[in-house]
Structure 1
Amino acid sequence: MKLSRHSDYALRAMIQLASAGDELVSIRRISETYGISHSHLMKIVQSLGHAGFVETVRGRHGGLRLARPAREISLGALLRHTEGEDGLVDCTGCLIAPACGLPGMLAEALEAFLKVLDGYRLDDVASRSHVLRALFDRPASAGPGDTPSARCDARQAGP
């Protein structure tokens, strides 16, 4: 199973906000940190705001912060929001759908996956906020491709 890019970016933004504590973080800052399109990130943040995960503060010194403490934000709830209610497969119109047991099995597996993530909170992911902050504050001169996003993507690619 692979999470959508929307969920990936939402998780990254939420981790950065969690590490910032009560400080406001701009969309531009998050966008630059991860190399995410500013307009794409704005749509994600708007969705997170409507769902009650993020609070936005307008104005010259505005920005974003978590709408509630990181210890109150379940990773399962966050992924249910970003991934939606669709199952892992769409069997609409499939010839064997009436007799196939796969959709039920996949639904059970997805629920088990989300149940595990319900046991984790955003503060579990961002528990080393001082280390995360140091990584987020790394100067752009650290070298091309040396952003948290590039390092994260490289680890995901494997050997």
Structure 2
Amino acid sequence: MKLSRYSDYALRILIHLALHPDRLISIRQIADIYGISQNHLMKIAQDLGHAGVIQTVRGRNGGLRLARPAEEITIGEVVRRTETRGPIVDCSGCLIARGCGLPPMFAEAQEAFMSVLDRYSLADAAMRSDTLRHLFAVA
């Protein structure tokens, strides 16, 4: 299964926030580090805020922070929120869909994929925090 760029960027935002739980991080800082459009990241941050994954603080000294500890946010939760494409393969227009055995296999594979992501937290993704902080400093 291939994740969308939207999911990729959402996870990047969250990993960065997990590395700095004690302060607010601006969208501009994250955009500059990754070389991603601020406008694009704002949309993603807004979605993550509505989902209760991050808190957004408006104003001159505002920014983003995790709404919960990184240990309580699973990668599966984030991916379910950011991936809206549905099943791995859309068989609805296929001539043989009613008699084909592939759709249930694909559904099982997708569920297994999500099950693995549910076992890992954001803290697991950011566990090499010293290395990540160094890479961000270099960027």
TM-score for the superposition, normalised by structure 2: 0.95
Contact 1:56 1:64 in 2 (8 A): yes
| Count of matched residue pairs | 139
Q: What TM-score comes out, normalization by structure 1 length?
A: 0.83
> Structure 2: which 5+ residue stretches go unaligned?
none
The answer as to whether partners of 1:10 and 1:82 remain within 8 angstroms in 2 is yes
Aligned to 2:34: 34
Gaps of 5+ in 1: 139-146, 148-159
3-state SS of paired residue (2:124): helix
Q: Give 1:69's aligned residue.
A: 69
Percent identity among equivalent residues?
A: 63
Per-residue deviation, residues 75-108 of structure 1 (Å, max 9, x unmatched)? 1111111113711111122111111111110110
For 1:136 and 1:94, the matched residues in 2 are separated by 47
Aligned to 2:91: 91
| 1:20 and 1:129 in contact (8 A); partners too | no
CA distance in structure 2 between the partners assigned to 1:130 and 1:61 by the alignment = 26
The separation in 2 between residues aligned to 1:136 and 1:54, in whole angstroms, is: 20
State how far apart, in whole Å, the 2-side matches of 1:79 and 1:97 are. Answer: 27
**Alpha carbons 1:74, 1:118 under 8 Å: kept:** yes
TM-aligned CA deviation for residue 127 of structure 1: 1.4
- AA matched with 2:55: E
